[in-house]
Chain A
Amino acid sequence: DAGVTQSPTHLIKTRGQQVTLRCSPKSGHDTVSWYQQALGQGPQFIFQYYEEEERQRGNFPDRFSGHQFPNYSSELNVNALLLGDSALYLCASSEGRTFEKLFFGSGTQLSVL
């Protein structure tokens, strides 16, 4: 049973560029949440997708957007990258539009130069 998979594992971008990160949820899960984790900090909630719609959102600017596909996989898009966007981006899946029993992927380490 595959867990949560994320791609790519590492990414280097320059300021102003755009990036797309991808996530496939654990089998049987229909809800995907995205988090940003800076070094030495806890994960910060970006947004949650369920039934192909953004259902919940954290305190992130509109430069952060997402999408969920019919197979429950999800993408996180970040436009106009800033140096401060450098972080580990974690995807977590769960069942039924909840935050219960989140399973996290290994993350994408984004470096913005």
Chain B
Amino acid sequence: QKEVEQNSGPLSVPEGAIASLNCTYSDRGSQSFFWYRQYSGKSPELIMSIYSNGDKEDGRFTAQLNKASQYVSLLIRDSQPSDSATYLCAVQMFSGGYNKLIFGAGTRLAVHP
């Protein structure tokens, strides 16, 4: 089982729709969760962080966390073609005596006009 799992996609949504991106993780003790966006040929950039169960909203983005189910998601409302990118879920874990930030493989989102 991978430590952080994401559907690789591509997830294709029409402009103006809600895009829903999902992520599961293996370490029940994880406390910090992040979503990064990576445009093709560019480096990742932080979109949101979430630490508590429930929803956290920032503009068109909402992160959702359910620690009991070991599940974190990202909703993008009113999707725009400029949102087309790979979305990386990252989870901070303690393993092998070290703290690590573990990334999923990413979900590719394509927003079509």
Contact A100 B103 (CB under 8 A): no
Interface flag for A105 (CB, 8 Å): yes
Secondary structure call for the A interface: loop
Number of interface residues of B (CB under 8 A): 22
Interface flag for A90 (CB, 8 Å): yes
A-B contacts, CB under 8 A, total: 51
Within 8 A of B (CB), among A17-55: 33, 35, 40-45
Q: What are 30 A-B contacts with C-beta separation under 8 Å?
A: A33-B101, A35-B103, A40-B105, A41-B105, A41-B106, A42-B88, A42-B90, A42-B106, A43-B88, A44-B103, A45-B100, A45-B101, A45-B103, A57-B98, A58-B100, A59-B96, A90-B44, A99-B90, A99-B101, A100-B49, A102-B34, A102-B44, A102-B46, A102-B101, A103-B46, A104-B43, A104-B45, A105-B43, A106-B42, A106-B43
